[in-house]
Chains A and B, each alone.
Chain A
């Protein structure tokens, strides 16, 4: 059973399109995250939600909009995709916002052409 699952795993789309990545965790964790890993392999946090409430919102273009319908789900919607959005997007969760161990999903490889 996958603890943190995200879909789709691979996504190729054209500039200007709108796309969503879905994420679900079955660990019963309170906190979920979206991270972006660029071509240089740096992993950077984008958003963090605790019990559906936004607690971290790093400097991310407002074309990126997270949505958490419940604490087990955190989806990422991206409007007007740009070439620079090509990256691997990792969803993750932790037991609580102060938890030390973060569990990552397998990643979603987004390529914008």
Chain B
């Protein structure tokens, strides 16, 4: 089993739709959680951190469920520019900055 698992998609949604991605992680010692965004043929960039109480950044809401080892990302009012691959990222608490990336979920927002 991979340490961080995501549905690869693609998720094809119309502009204005609400879409949610899920991610599960296997290492219960994981301490920090993030969503990164990667555009086609570009480098990954941090989208947002994920906090236990849940957090929101504009149209983006991230949730963490430690008991179920599950992370989610909700995007409201999808824009064409949201089309990208969304990477779920988990960090172990020790051994340097050991970030483990999921394989990503591809989102395509259509007009």
Contacts and interface: CB of A to CB of B under 8 A. Distances in A.
B55 to A, nearest CB: 14
Contacts of B101: 42-44
B96 A55 contact: yes
A97 B43 contact: no
A102 B99 CA distance: 9
A31 B97 CA distance: 9
A80 B103 CA distance: 28
B91 to A, nearest CB: 7
Interface of B: 8, 32, 34, 41-46, 49, 85, 87, 91, 95-99, 101, 103-104
Nearest to A58: B98
Contacts of B43: 90, 104-107
A28 interface: no
19 contacts: A31-B96, A33-B97, A40-B103, A48-B97, A50-B96, A56-B95, A56-B96, A56-B98, A90-B43, A97-B97, A100-B32, A100-B34, A100-B49, A100-B91, A100-B97, A102-B46, A104-B44, A104-B45, A105-B43
A45 interface: yes
Interface residues of A, number: 24
A101 interface: yes
A41 B6 CA distance: 12
Contacts of A97: 96-97
A94 interface: yes
B86 to A, nearest CB: 12
A16 interface: no
Contacts of A100: 32, 34, 49, 91, 97
Contact of B97 (A42, A98, A107): A98
Interface string A45-89: 100101000011000000000000000000000000000000000
